[in-house]
Amino acid sequence: MKKMVLDYVALEERGWKVAFFLLPAAGVALIALGWMRAKATAAREGWPQVSAVVIESRVDELKDGGASRYAPHIAYRYFLDDKKHEGSRLGSDAAQFRFTSKARAEELALAHPVAKEIKVRVNPDNPDDSQLFDAADHGGGLRIGIGVALLAIFIMTEIYWHTGHEAPDTDFHIGDIPATPAEKT
């Protein structure tokens, strides 16, 4: 037990340095993921549109822990090069079509009744890949923004420390806290 406490104290003494240098790694990773997601969304918006027919339209209830969310399920059929294809993807980010309000999901489903003719975007490289809406994907931009903020925090702190200021240091260590009430004496 004593060795584990000593090892933990040693990690804690340099732990702020390890945690601090994870900031730029996390920042770069978030920027890369956001960039890839934004690029994929932009590519989907460039897919050609084809005519399709709604073959199923309903609202699904999704249990998310204790809360319910509602999502429209709109399936459609389209033909490309005389071959039949079916799809049900609404947009590039499925989370955009999950609502806490059942009425909002029903509104979207009712706007797309069975047998209605619609336009869908189809991946020219994979005709089985399609989507109904050109929904904006805010997840890519959010990831990029958080990544830039993490990098900015890292850079500003590095500048601060390298201009004569010292890194934070404390005299408190987790090993100073007694493990049990009996050890307090």
Whole-angstrom distance, CA of residue 161 vs CA of residue 7: 27
pLDDT at residue 2 in the model: 43
Helix, coil or strand: residue 1 = coil
Which parts of the chain have pLDDT scores under 50?
A: 1-12
Please report the DSSP string for 61-112 in residue order: EEEETTEEEEEEEEEEEEEETTEEEEE---SS-GGGG-BS-HHHHHHHHHTS
pLDDT at residue 9 in the model: 44
Helix, coil or strand: residue 13 = helix
Contact call for residues 119 and 51 (beta carbons, < 8 A): yes
Q: Angle, to 10 degrees, between the axis of helix 138-162 and the axis of helix 2-45?
A: 130
pLDDT digit string, tens, across residues 58-103: 999 998 788 899 999 999 999 988 899 999 988 766 677 888 989 9
pTM: 0.58
Tokens 């201009």 belong to which residue? 163
